[in-house]
Chains A and B, each alone.
Chain A
């Protein structure tokens, strides 16, 4: 890296504040990791929200009948799914300043995560929209629903329900993938563990605690997903 990736966070100070002969994992240390985990959650949540919005636009473009729209959408999906996230992050992190946009590294990180996940979400949503049963739309038409009403009352809710498991899955993938953001100097959970390890030499405790936190967060997200799925089981036979 080129020296720009120094965290703006004074980990050394915090670490120095810890008394030196120490037990395996102090509450203070764990507290720092939990705080960083909350940062991981916020970064991921923002990226996922942007990603779903972008994904919806890309899915709509891809479903369009004009190849002027569908073709770029296809390339977009193929590119962002075909390039490792780490490379995308490095590219965006270095590209933004090169074209005159100077932003904190967390903005580059969120952009990278959001762009990457939007390509996957676009595919998920496309699958959801194309699986809405034709008969439902035909009966909606017979009942005189306008195209907009069909979209808002029939297609979108059903597509969303069909897509939900895949969307939750993708959210968990992004939570895990957000660890790569540490490489461009964002002090989220992984980077916090790394920074603390640099000064404390306790890699096993720090990285397994970080792993545990990721695992717990993922568990919470997947049970929330299952809960939402159950809530949305209306009209199922």
Chain B
């Protein structure tokens, strides 16, 4: 390494309060968009499975479009194009909306696969036992699906966490924007970005570990097909 590289982490860490509040924004944005994306994804999966055919076709279009184009382009379209279509949003709400709609397309596929994986026999058995339609959904379909869907759901949630970094491009004051700005301020870009990468790495590992714990907890509900 050349002499030009000074590793001066103390300077950056002197701004720990800024970094922590940005971390709060990242986690807050993640959880809010996770809730939005799961709600949209679940709604879309249910509407596609139980709704009429045209609804399924329209929603398939939504899923394909949002999974087939880059998130950054979707974000730009909403944030820069929105005002021309009467939808002026600040960076944070625009970011939340874009992430939720984008994540929703992925989550709908996760839920769709879950619905399909619940064995028909279980539903038929419940029907024979005199369960009502509501009971079947509440007692059979949803719990069995929750277990089946969890690993893929955790993966999608972790991807969403990493995607929050993209919101820095439209100036949402989250971790990536804040830490790289500190790097510019102290002329210590490489150090700042190393810290940033390590921070995300830790966050992602923690999120994945939480997912594994949840999977373990729910393992007793697993059935052998």
Contacts and interface: CB of A to CB of B under 8 A. Distances in A.
Interface of A: 2, 78-79, 81-88, 90-91, 94-95, 98-100, 176-180, 182-183, 190, 193-194, 197, 203-204, 207-208, 210-211, 214-215, 218-219
Given A99-B2, A190-B73, A214-B70, A86 B80 contact: no
B108 interface: no
A86 B70 CA distance: 13
B200 interface: yes
Given A82-B201, A86-B176, A203-B81, A91 B163 contact: no
B99 to A, nearest CB: 13
Contact of B69 (A2, A94, A180, A214): A214
A179 B201 CA distance: 22
A98 B73 CA distance: 30
A78 B73 contact: no
Interface stretch (B42-50, B139-147, B191-199): B191-199
A102 B45 CA distance: 49
A2 B180 CA distance: 10
Given A86-B165, A183-B169, A215-B65, A79 B201 contact: yes
B77 A203 contact: yes
Interface in B48-107: 64-65, 68-74, 76-77, 80-81, 84-85
Nearest to A218: B68
B166 interface: yes
Contact of A208 (B64, B72, B77, B176): B77
A113 B60 CA distance: 29
A214 B64 CA distance: 12
